[in-house]
Amino acid sequence: MTNLTLALDAMGGDHGPQMIVPAAVQALEHSPLLKIILVGDERVLSPILRQHQAQLHPRLIVKHAAQVVAMDERPLSALRNKKASSMRIALDLVEQGKADGCVSAGNTGALMTMAKVLLKTLPGIDRPALITGMPSINQTPTYMLDLGANISCDSELLFQFAVMGAAIAETVDNIKSPRIALLNVGVEDMKGNDQVQQAAQLLKDTKQLNYIGFIEGDRIYSGDVDVIVCDGFVGNIALKSSEGVARLMADKIRASLNRSLITRYFARVFSSKLNSGLNQMNPDHYNGASLIGLRSIVVKSHGNADQAAFTQAINLAIMEVERSLPQKVTERLEQILLDKSN
Amino acid sequence: MTNLTLALDAMGGDHGPQMIVPAAVQALEHSPLLKIILVGDERVLSPILRQHQAQLHPRLIVKHAAQVVAMDERPLSALRNKKASSMRIALDLVEQGKADGCVSAGNTGALMTMAKVLLKTLPGIDRPALITGMPSINQTPTYMLDLGANISCDSELLFQFAVMGAAIAETVDNIKSPRIALLNVGVEDMKGNDQVQQAAQLLKDTKQLNYIGFIEGDRIYSGDVDVIVCDGFVGNIALKSSEGVARLMADKIRASLNRSLITRYFARVFSSKLNSGLNQMNPDHYNGASLIGLRSIVVKSHGNADQAAFTQAINLAIMEVERSLPQKVTERLEQILLDKSN
């Protein structure tokens, strides 16, 4: 690991600094070359830092922010009126080169709008997208985007998402020629809405991309595709409904084992094995979606992330800094868009 | 149970008559007052009926159909060119009053288009919708619609879905004043696209409906809502991605238990308990979505349903006939739409 600095929006998310401060301390312990700038209200942060004996940590700096972006604030209102917010100042630090990346568990729409204006999109990209690696039957994650940054998307935007998703799969997981699919209500050629139909045509026409066709929702986790492209409304619903099922199933299995003394005893004795099965699908272990298509690194944590989950999001940002993700995506973009125009 | 007749599209779905014939025989054994008209190619059906010793079953009639609607056929093409198909003739039997309802595992779009033209929608309803009861943490199902019959929906259509969903929850599960929610990418008032925003306003303005606001995908299974409304694209993706997770989790848990001899032994000995936990979320046990908003009963089975799953879809159709579902939905619709116009 090289020396690197992350700016954390310490006030964002459902649990705020009570969860983010210990997550930051944990990340610093784990990564000796990491420096963290905690952005938030000093009066709120100070006692929490003392509580975690971190007020004098040599690699932890507090940067005061007088405002907070509310979870239900409209993005444009946050952009105009919250210039002193923890989210804004964390992004400013990235823009000024004082931090290599930023992590926030705050309002997704506001983060996306501010990041787009402050950090700018890559050449050839109109809007950033939220991407994450979904668990699958294989060891390799399946990248899905957009997960909620863009509520409606035309075919050109879906095409750009496909290019970015492929670049991520190539850069992060060294996948040669990643298999790209469009999420749709059926696999047959005539299925879906106009946007999906036109995006399919754009992808078919681009020889540099390994487009394999439509997939339905039940194949998101099948491991037979590397990049899944959809608009932010659909992606958000697919991700969150999957989380809902995973939680419900874990509850049901635990409840069914708790019904008899013998199975309850077993479940307790072998809880680590059972939990390993259950937790492989636990959304808390897959926290952190990257806002890609920007010139810098921004990671969005789940709003209700706990400390372990927020630490995952920090680790994701570290990985992206180490691999110079925006540069890699740019190179791949240039290559595809240049080849396409020839 | 009263005497009733169902028309089955014997040629639809991935497994066709090899799966549908034994499912029909099983349903007849279980329901002594049920009569089934199997619609399909006689030359294909005869040997399968003999194989299951059902060629002389007194309550099983074969109705010949020379054509089949392909799974990838365009709905309008099927409507125009497949008048002798098993799907079309099964619907004709319902339209002519020779069957009380119809079950098909075939092409969803074609089924929806043919059913709309042949059977007509209820007064006040522009388009039918696919609805099913999703499992939840409670014993009561949560109804979700549309699951794929209407790829894009304006706010008026979403409103009609809400009214129909409420009528189903009241009629089937005797829920007084069912809680209705719109599926969205956030719970805050300003979240979502125009259709969802405008549908929220229509629902807020209708005092006869218990509209509780937006919900996100992770609350589909939480049991704190009775009716979830969304367009068919989103509903289909939510349903299928949930199925994908449920299957993957079951696989992962079985695999993690299989890793040691002791847990493997346990898993085998207590497989019934484990399976009860795993199967509560198994989509095969929740097969059958109703095409509601029509003047008659049409149930759509999963295309890849197995025998047990197709029998579930038949049982769903039986329940709907017994409860006179279209009449009940009509009464409720008239009441709400009349009150609203006053």
Q: What is the SS3 string spanning A41-58?
A: CHHHHHHHHHHCCCCCCC
> Which CATH number characterizes residue A3's domain?
3.40.718.10
Lowest mean pLDDT among A173-187, A201-215, B250-264: B250-264
Mean pLDDT of all residues in A224-239: 96
pLDDT of B274 above 70:
no
Distance from CA of A182 to the nearest CA of B (A): 12
B117 found inside a domain: yes
pLDDT for A333 equals: 84
Residues 6+ apart with CB under 8 A from B142: B133, B134, B136, B220, B221, B223, B225, B226, B227, B228
A339 found inside a domain: no
pLDDT for B81 equals: 97
CB B129 within 8 A of CB B149: yes
Where does the pLDDT of residue A281 fall: very low under 50, low under 70, confident under 90, or very high at 90 and above?
low
Cα–chain center distance at B283: 12
Q: What is the CA radius of gyration of chain A?
A: 21
pLDDT for A30 equals: 94
B196 in the same domain as B85:
no
pLDDT for A258 equals: 72
pLDDT for B337 equals: 74
B168 in the same domain as B272:
yes
Mean pLDDT of all residues in B75-84: 96
Residues of A in contact with B14 (CB under 8 A): none
Where does the pLDDT of residue A336 fall: very low under 50, low under 70, confident under 90, or very high at 90 and above?
confident
Tokens of residue A38, six digits: 């905690």
Residues of A in contact with B149 (CB under 8 A): none
Mean pLDDT of all residues in A208-219: 95
Q: Are A234 and B239 an interchain contact pair (Cβ–Cβ within 8 Å)?
A: no
Mean pLDDT of all residues in B149-172: 94
B139 in the same domain as B96:
no
| A342 vs A312 pLDDT, higher one | A312
pLDDT of A275 above 80:
no
Cα separations in angstroms, A201 against A205, A206, A213, A260, A341: 6, 9, 10, 56, 16
Where does the pLDDT of residue B135 fall: very low under 50, low under 70, confident under 90, or very high at 90 and above?
confident
pLDDT for A287 equals: 76
Q: Are B237 and A234 an interchain contact pair (Cβ–Cβ within 8 Å)?
A: yes
Residues of A in contact with B215 (CB under 8 A): none
Residues of A in contact with B263 (CB under 8 A): 270, 273
pLDDT for A197 equals: 97
Lowest mean pLDDT among A205-214, A274-283, A287-296, B103-112: A274-283
B138 in the same domain as B95:
no
Tokens of residue A130, six digits: 């939220």
Q: What is the mean pLDDT of chain A?
A: 90
Q: What secondary structure does DSSP assign to B184-207, as a single string?
A: -S-SSTT-S-HHHHHHHHHHHT-T
B333 found inside a domain: no
Mean pLDDT of all residues in A87-102: 98
A157 in the same domain as A49:
no
pLDDT of A303 above 90:
no
Cα–chain center distance at B220: 17
B331 found inside a domain: no
Of A183, A255, A277, which is closest to B253 when you measure between CB atoms? A277
The per-residue pLDDT for range B303-335, each reduced to its tens digit, is 888 999 999 999 999 999 999 999 998 998 888
Where does the pLDDT of residue A280 fall: very low under 50, low under 70, confident under 90, or very high at 90 and above?
low
Boundary residue ending a domain (B285, B309, B336) = B285
Boundary residue ending a domain (B285, B307, B337) = B285
pLDDT of B119 above 80:
yes
Beta strand pairing call for A210-215 and A289-292: unpaired
A276 in the same domain as A153:
yes
Mean pLDDT of all residues in B153-159: 96
pLDDT for B144 equals: 96
Of B72, B185, B238, which is closest to A151 when you measure between CB atoms? B185
With residues binned 3-state (H G I as helix, E B as strand, rest as coil), the percentages for chain B, rounded to 5, are: 50, 15, 35
A330 found inside a domain: no
- Structural domain range at position B237: 132-285
A299 found inside a domain: yes
A216 in the same domain as A118:
no
Most confident of A250-254, A328-332, B212-216, B258-262: B212-216
CB A110 within 8 A of CB A125: no
pLDDT of B281 above 90:
no
A113 in the same domain as A153:
no
pLDDT for A17 equals: 96
Q: Name the strands in the sheet holding B34-40, side by side, starting at the edge strand that comes first in the sequence.
A: B60-64, B34-40, B4-9, B101-104, B297-300, B289-292, B129-134, B142-145, B227-229, B179-183, B210-215
The per-residue pLDDT for range A136-167, each reduced to its tens digit, is 877 788 999 999 999 999 999 999 999 999 99
B299 in the same domain as B177:
no
A70 found inside a domain: yes
Where does the pLDDT of residue B60 fall: very low under 50, low under 70, confident under 90, or very high at 90 and above?
very high
A110 in the same domain as A209:
no
pLDDT for B279 equals: 61
Q: What percent of chain A has pLDDT over 90?
A: 71
Boundary residue ending a domain (B285, B309, B337) = B285
Maximum CA extent, chain A: 70
What domain count does chain A have? 2
Distance from CA of B331 to the nearest CA of A (A): 32
Q: What is the mean pLDDT of chain B?
A: 90
Lowest mean pLDDT among A186-190, A238-242, B295-299: A186-190
pLDDT for A136 equals: 82
B158 in the same domain as B278:
yes
A278 in the same domain as A157:
yes
| B281 vs A254 pLDDT, higher one | A254
Which chain B residue is nearest to residue A148, measuring alpha carbons? B185
pLDDT of A42 above 70:
yes
| A283 vs A45 pLDDT, higher one | A45
Where does the pLDDT of residue A248 fall: very low under 50, low under 70, confident under 90, or very high at 90 and above?
confident
pLDDT of A276 above 90:
no
The per-residue pLDDT for range A97-134, each reduced to its tens digit, is 999 999 999 999 999 999 999 999 999 899 999 999 98
Q: Are A276 and B270 an interchain contact pair (Cβ–Cβ within 8 Å)?
A: no
Residues in chain B: 342
Q: From the CB of residue B14, how many other CB atoms can be counted at a distance below 10 Å? A: 13
A vs B, Cβ pairs < 8 A, gives 188
B252 found inside a domain: yes
Where does the pLDDT of residue A215 fall: very low under 50, low under 70, confident under 90, or very high at 90 and above?
very high
